[in-house]
Amino acid sequence: MKLKKGDNIIVIAGKDKGRKGKIEKIFPKKGLVLLPGINVFKRHAKSRGEKQPGGIIDIIKPLPISNVALLCPRCGKPTRVGYQVSKDGTKSRICRQCQAII
């Protein structure tokens, strides 16, 4: 998985195309990412007593990972993620646009 929790991303497809956010949670087996405030749906809930009143509830659903792109912290453009292995054996993520370490 090339994206990690806390990465800044931009939505490149779907109803929220162009919106930016920070990854809150990743579901690697399903290939989904959860972004706060993005991909919000409304749900009408029936009252379940005094403790759970009815009404319209906002639900945040995860997005497919293919619908988001990483924003490079240096150039600010949506980019794909590459990897670079240094001489001491450490692996780091790089921006494919400007070759900056992410």
Q: What is the rounded average pLDDT for all residues in the chain?
A: 92
1, pLDDT greater than 80: no
pLDDT of residue 97: 86
Fold classification of 8-71 (topology level): SH3 type barrels. (2.30.30)
CATH 2.30.30.30 in the chain, residue ranges: 8-71
* Residue 31 near residue 3, CB atoms below 8 Å: no
**Residue-wise pLDDT tens digits, 8-58:** 999 999 999 999 999 999 999 999 999 999 999 999 999 988 888 889 999
Cα separation, 36 vs 96, in Å, equals 26
Cα separation, 99 vs 102, in Å, equals 9
